[in-house]
């Protein structure tokens, strides 16, 4: 049995105990987390940063409630990325709300040599720690021999072998956690011996901040410049000492890391043995194909094609169901409730808004199902390896390709998929440029307008000209995305030096529970967090389109009815005319007229202006608004809207409004403009601030304005 000092402060008096899960990337930490908490987990951000925080609850046998915090995977307490910095910021600050009472350190037995460095650092912080050796099942398969008692003896903390994947020894793990809470103990002596100079430095920090752990003090001193909880005077005090004693932070780190390895490597030699190499492993064989010079990229693009197909077409059935369901609900409410403003608010504002949120769920669920499988299996790391070189030139990451490809279906799940990019700058750039990729909501707009630019019968060689023009619009989106990524790469400065040092984990069968929980969590987050914003904007847009200043709306309605009676209109014709007159008299109509001078140079009139405003809800709304404005009813086919638009003439010149220049200008506008409140809502949630969605909105819409302006002025 190991010897451990009992820490004086008993934890049982507390109502909930905070337990931290810490470990290297790929140690199977999330599988442990999901095993312990199941659906009782909440995902959010750590305060002030967009690093994913997973907190879950579970009960121990002794009725003690545990708050389990899953920390980002990290290799050491010397952070190199935002994710890793979170771990240090919390573990170095005893006042932090997530500062753990107990640490469960998860290590992969099959890579124990690599996974113990961080463990020895964490252990030296004086927090009661236990070591969970995960992947006992894989160790058995690989015939790795290990001795937990020997490890426990030399590391001086409780050690338990588990397999989170198979649920093996999970009750025992809980039992060990209970024991550690009942008798909190810390390792008797630190793993790392501070040098004389380091001890002096630590003492300065210890007395300044009133802490008693010398390793913690040393860590704080080394990272003083970036720890958010230090005051400016603390920082200056510490830095002064460092400069005076001539310390080099990097050399200190290297010395510490070497000393730790030198101490635990001999311990491991006695406690773990793996069989002699047996030639190529399964992972070697798979990688021979999957990262092959020619096969690698082919397989990757085939997979991306499947991802695109899945979001684009597999989701259409559930999406149509949701769409039809909300349409039915809408008309049911309309016919049940008396005609009134609240009936309109409920149907055209709230129900339409809710429908607009739920409609994205199939796409989000399907995309994350596929991405989670690729991540879980270990494939995504290979994609990063293969495409790092190209993507790096644009300030992006290999994982950004998934976002760009998914963006062709819908930017919302695509932006959400960037969570897996750990470098903040690369992730931000991916988020900012993904909405340039033409999504499926632009297709109806393109379809309506393209006929005015390229005649349906025209062909260039064997190609249909409209098809080529379509492709041109998509290409334009891709060019805009990569071009702006390149610009952003230059503009955004990053304190993180860009490295690629990526572990390529062994291929493993995916854990179904992890995948389903991930899909569930993404859908839930989107519905609750982005959904809120979408619903509000949708109600605002409804107000804009249904109300007008003073009695304008009512006047417009009477006028329309009189005119319809004079002309002997049918019931639907009358209703369509009323709708057209009403939208002209509404706030949206006024706004359309108000912005007309600004959009005139792009070749747009106020009617297009209204459509630009309403289609901020979603691009495809453009088509519906056009139908309303030209009073042809929103149930009509795209073809008839196009016919009606083709007949639209400029009242002064008598020339068609939708001539080549205006139509092309409008197309260009829709390729570039950020006309999607849902995407902005998701960007807000993923970047944790309004700053980035606002910049994105003005940048994209500004580019759209510029593009349309040039096109119209050249071709008019």
Partner 1 sequence: MPNTLNNLELGKKGTIAAFSDEQAGCQLMTMGILPGNNVQVIRKAPLGGAIYLKMENQQFAIRNKEAECIMLK
389 binds partner 1 (CB under 8 A): yes
Distance CA 354, CA 326 (A): 8
Q: Choose between 498 and 713: whose C-beta lies nearer to partner 1.
A: 498
Contact call for residue 384 and partner 1 (CB under 8 A): yes
Separation of alpha carbons 388 and 296, rounded Å: 13
- HEC-encoded secondary structure of 643-664: HHHHHCECCCCCCECCCHHHHH
- Give pairs for 240-243: CB < 8 Å, separation 24+: 241/201, 241/204, 242/201
120 binds partner 1 (CB under 8 A): no
Residue 253 binding partner 1, by CB under 8 A = yes
Residue appearing with tokens 């992730």: 427
SS3 424: helix
Q: Which stretch binds partner 1 (CB under 8 A): 44-52, 152-160, 312-320, 377-385?
A: 377-385
Q: DSSP letter string over 142-207?
A: TT-EE-HHHHHHHH-S-EEE-BTTTTBTHHHHHHHHHHHHHS-EE-SS-SSPPPHHHHHHHHHHHH
Task: Name the minimum Å distance from CB 215 to partner 1.
Answer: 16
Contact 539, 349 (CB under 8 A): yes
Verify binding: residue 386, partner 1, rule CB under 8 A.
yes
Distance CA 352, CA 271 (A): 63
Helices (H), 530-620: 531-546, 552-567, 571-585, 587-599, 606-614
| Shortest CB 116 distance to partner 1, Å | 9
For partner 1, the closer CB: 503 or 521: 503
> Which of residues 402 and 441 has its CB atom nearest to partner 1 in the complex?
402
Smallest distance, Å, CB 147 to partner 1? 18
Please tell me whether residue 114 binds partner 1 under the rule CB under 8 A. Answer: yes
Of these, 385, 470, 486, 709, which contacts partner 1 (CB under 8 A)? 385
Q: How far is the CB of 229 from partner 1 (least distance, A)?
A: 24
* Least gap, CB of 506 to partner 1 (angstroms): 8
- 324 part of the interface to partner 1, by CB under 8 A: no
* The one among 45, 80, 179, 195 contacting partner 1 by CB under 8 A: 80
Q: What is the dihedral of CA 229, 234, 235, 237, to 10 degrees?
A: -170
- Give φ, ψ of 653 to 5 degrees: -95, -20
CB of 520 to partner 1, least distance (A): 31
Contacts of 426 (CB under 8 A, 6+ apart): 395, 396, 397, 400
Q: How many chain residues interact with partner 1 (CB under 8 A)?
A: 44
How far is Cα 276 from Cα 272, in angstroms, rounded to an integer? 13
278 binds partner 1 (CB under 8 A): no
> Is residue 302 close enough to count as binding partner 1 by CB under 8 A?
no
Binding mask 591-610 for partner 1 (x = CB under 8 A): --------------------
In the complex with partner 1, the residue whose CB is nearer, 248 or 713, is: 248
Stretch that binds partner 1, among 110-118, 161-169, 307-315, 661-669 (CB under 8 A): 110-118
| Residue partners of 320: CB distance under 8 A and separation at least 6 | none
Closer by beta carbon to partner 1, 77 or else 454 = 77
Is there binding between residue 502 and partner 1 (CB under 8 A)?
yes
**Do residues 70 and 33 touch, judged by C-beta distance below 8 A?**
yes
Q: Quick one: which of 250, 305, 306, 714 contacts partner 1 (CB under 8 A)?
A: 250
For partner 1, give the closer residue by CB, 18 or 74. 74
Q: In this structure, are strands 52-59 and 5-6 parallel, antiparallel, or unpaired?
A: unpaired
For residues 118 and 675, which CB has a smaller minimum distance to partner 1 in the complex? 118
Q: Does 392 bind partner 1 (CB under 8 A)?
A: yes
113 or 234: CB nearest partner 1: 113
- Quote the CA–CA distance of 299 and 151 in Å, as a whole number: 43
Least separation in angstroms between residue 27's CB and partner 1 is 12
Q: What distance in Å separates the CA atoms of residue 283 and residue 291, rounded to the nearest whole number? A: 11
| Beta strand pairing call for 129-134 and 159-161 | parallel
Beta bridge partners of 146: 272
Asked if 283 touches partner 1 (CB under 8 A), the answer is yes
Beta-carbon count within 10 A of 588 CB: 25
2 vs 75, beta carbon nearer partner 1: 75
Calpha distance 337→346 (Å, rounded):
10
Q: How far is the CB of 694 from partner 1 (least distance, A)?
A: 34
- State the minimum distance, in angstroms, from the CB of residue 380 to partner 1: 12
Closest CA to 604 of 587, 622, 586: 622
> How far apart, in whole angstroms, are the C-alpha atoms of residue 678 and residue 532?
10
Q: Please report whether residue 149 would count as binding partner 1 according to CB under 8 A.
A: no
* Under rule CB under 8 A, residue 503 binds partner 1: yes
Of the residues 11, 60, 99, 113, which one makes contact with partner 1 according to CB under 8 A: 113
Stretch that binds partner 1, among 60-68, 246-254, 462-470, 685-693 (CB under 8 A): 246-254
The secondary structure of 8-22 as a DSSP string is SS-STTSSEEEEEEE
Is 258 an interacting residue with respect to partner 1 (CB under 8 A)?
yes
Measured from the CB atom, is 327 or 500 closer to partner 1? 500
Stretch that binds partner 1, among 148-156, 250-258, 528-536, 545-553 (CB under 8 A): 250-258
State the residue for tokens 């390792």: 187
Please tell me the distance from the alpha carbon of residue 45 to that of residue 525, in angstroms, as a whole number: 11
Cα gap 484→487, rounded to integer Å: 5
Q: Are 406 and 455 in contact (CB under 8 A)?
A: no
Given 504, 539, 561, 595, the residue binding partner 1 (CB under 8 A): 504
Both tokens of residue 364?
Answer: 């989000």
Cβ-based nearer residue to partner 1, 15 or 493:
493
Give yes or no for residue 191 binding partner 1 (CB under 8 A): no
Q: Which stretch binds partner 1 (CB under 8 A): 341-349, 378-386, 542-550, 603-611?
A: 378-386
Would you count residue 294 as binding partner 1 (CB under 8 A)?
yes
Give me the least distance between CB of 111 and partner 1, in Å please: 6
Q: Which residues bind partner 1 (CB under 8 A)?
A: 75-76, 78, 80, 110-111, 113-114, 117-118, 250-251, 253-254, 257-258, 261, 274, 277, 283-284, 287, 291-294, 296-297, 381, 384-390, 392, 497, 499-504
């Amino acid at each position: 049995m190991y010897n451990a000092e009992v820490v004086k402060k008993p934890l049982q008096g507390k109502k909930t105990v905070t337990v931290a899960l810490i470990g290297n990337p790929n140690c199977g930490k999330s599988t442990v987390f999901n095993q312990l908490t199941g659906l009782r987990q909440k995902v959010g951000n750590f305060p002030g940063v967009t690093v994913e925080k997973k907190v879950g609850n579970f009960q121990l046998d002794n009725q003690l409630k545990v708050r389990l915090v899953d920390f980002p995977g990290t290799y050491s307490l010397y952070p190199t990325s935002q994710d890793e910095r979170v771990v240090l910021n919390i573990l170095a600050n005893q006042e932090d709300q997530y500062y753990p009472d107990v640490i469960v350190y998860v290590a992969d037995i099959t890579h124990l040599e690599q996974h113990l460095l961080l463990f020895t650092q964490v252990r030296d912080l004086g927090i009661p720690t236990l070591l969970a050796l995960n992947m006992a099942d894989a160790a058995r398969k690989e015939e790795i021999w290990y001795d937990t008692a020997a490890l426990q003896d030399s590391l001086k903390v409780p050690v338990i072998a588990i397999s989170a994947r198979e649920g093996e020894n999970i009750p025992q793990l809980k039992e060990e956690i209970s024991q550690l809470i009942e008798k909190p103990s810390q390792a008797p002596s630190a793993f790392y011996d501070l040098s004389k100079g380091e001890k002096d430095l630590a003492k300065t920090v210890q007395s300044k901040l009133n802490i008693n752990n010398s390793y913690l003090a040393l860590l704080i001193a080394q990272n003083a410049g970036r720890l958010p909880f230090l005051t400016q005077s603390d920082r200056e005090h510490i830095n002064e000492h460092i400069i005076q004693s001539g310390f080099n932070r990097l050399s200190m780190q290297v010395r510490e890391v070497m000393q730790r390895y030198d101490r635990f490597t001999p311990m491991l030699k006695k406690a773990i043995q793996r069989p002699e190499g047996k030639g190529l492993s399964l992972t070697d064989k798979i990688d021979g194909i999957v990262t092959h010079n020619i096969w690698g990229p082919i397989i990757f693009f085939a997979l991306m094609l499947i991802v695109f197909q899945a979001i684009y077409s597999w989701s259409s059935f559930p999406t149509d169901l949701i769409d039809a369901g909300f349409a039915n609900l809408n008309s049911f409410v309309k016919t049940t409730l008396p005609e009134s403003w609240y009936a309109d608010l409920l149907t055209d504002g709230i129900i339409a808004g809710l429908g607009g949120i739920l409609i994205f769920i199939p796409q989000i669920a399907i995309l994350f199902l596929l991405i989670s499988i690729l991540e879980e299996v270990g494939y995504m790391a290979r994609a990063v390896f293969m495409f790092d070189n190209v993507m790096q030139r644009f300030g992006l990451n290999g994982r950004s390709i998934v976002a760009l490809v998914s963006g062709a279906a819908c930017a919302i799940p695509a932006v959400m998929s960037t969570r897996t990019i750990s470098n903040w700058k690369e992730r931000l750039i991916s988020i900012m440029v993904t909405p340039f990729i033409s999504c499926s909501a632009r297709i109806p707009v393109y379809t309506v307008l393209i006929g005015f630019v390229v005649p349906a019968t025209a062909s260039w060689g064997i190609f249909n000209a409209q098809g080529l023009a379509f492709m041109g619009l998509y290409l334009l989106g891709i060019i805009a995305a990569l071009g702006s990524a390149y610009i952003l790469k230059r503009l955004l400065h990053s304190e993180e030096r860009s490295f690629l040092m990526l572990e390529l984990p062994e291929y493993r069968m995916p854990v179904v529970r992890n995948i389903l929980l991930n899909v569930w969590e993404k859908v839930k987050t989107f519905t609750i967090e982005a959904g809120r914003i979408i619903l509000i904007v949708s109600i605002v847009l409804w107000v804009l389109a249904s109300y007008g200043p003073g009695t304008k709306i009512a006047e417009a309605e009477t006028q329309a009815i009189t005119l319809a009676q004079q002309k002997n209109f049918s019931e639907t014709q009358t209703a369509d005319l009323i709708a057209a007159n009403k939208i002209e008299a509404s706030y949206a109509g006024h706004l359309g007229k108000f912005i007309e001078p600004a959009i005139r140079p792009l070749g747009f009139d106020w009617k297009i202006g209204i459509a630009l405003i309403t289609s901020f809800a979603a691009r495809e709304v453009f088509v519906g608004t056009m139908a309303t404005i030209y009073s042809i009813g929103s149930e009509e086919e795209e073809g008839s809207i196009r016919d009606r638009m083709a007949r639209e003439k400029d009242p002064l010149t008598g020339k068609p409004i939708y001539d080549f220049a205006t139509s092309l200008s409008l197309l260009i506008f829709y390729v570039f403009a950020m006309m999607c409140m849902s995407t902005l809502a998701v960007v807000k949630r993923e970047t944790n601030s309004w700053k980035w969605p606002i910049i994105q909105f003005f940048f994209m819409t500004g580019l759209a304005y510029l593009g349309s302006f040039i096109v119209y002025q050249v071709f008019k």
